[in-house]
Amino acid sequence: MALIHSQSQECVKSELDLFAIPYTQTSIEKATYVEIPPLSAITPHGPLEFYISSNGEDYLDLNNTNLYTRVKITNPDGSDL
């Protein structure tokens, strides 16, 4: 198996290592969720774009990012299914 880096060592996923004492995470002091609206009006064929600014001190955890949508599926003529 190829390693990510030449000095990297093999390990077991922490989720599978049931008997090890877990590490204590000390790098994140607090977490917040922020609602970010799209940049422009939503159109049927246009892109859905967002701008997420940063002040250089915040960390964006894409693993815990959610995109909530409410959609309606219709027939090609626009009538309800």
3-state DSSP assignment of residue 62: helix
Cα distances from 39 to residues 21, 29, 50, 80, in angstroms, run: 45, 30, 5, 29
Tens digits of residue pLDDT in 10-37: 888 888 888 888 889 888 888 888 899 9
3-state DSSP assignment of residue 74: strand
Whether 1 shows a pLDDT value over 90: the answer reads no
pTM (two decimals): 0.53
Q: Are 39 and 50 in contact (CB under 8 A)?
A: yes
* 69 assigned to some structural domain: yes
Q: Are 28 and 59 in contact (CB under 8 A)?
A: yes
Token digits of residue 75: 């027939």
Query: Which domain covers residue 77, as residue numbers?
Result: 31-81
* 58 assigned to some structural domain: yes
* 6 assigned to some structural domain: no
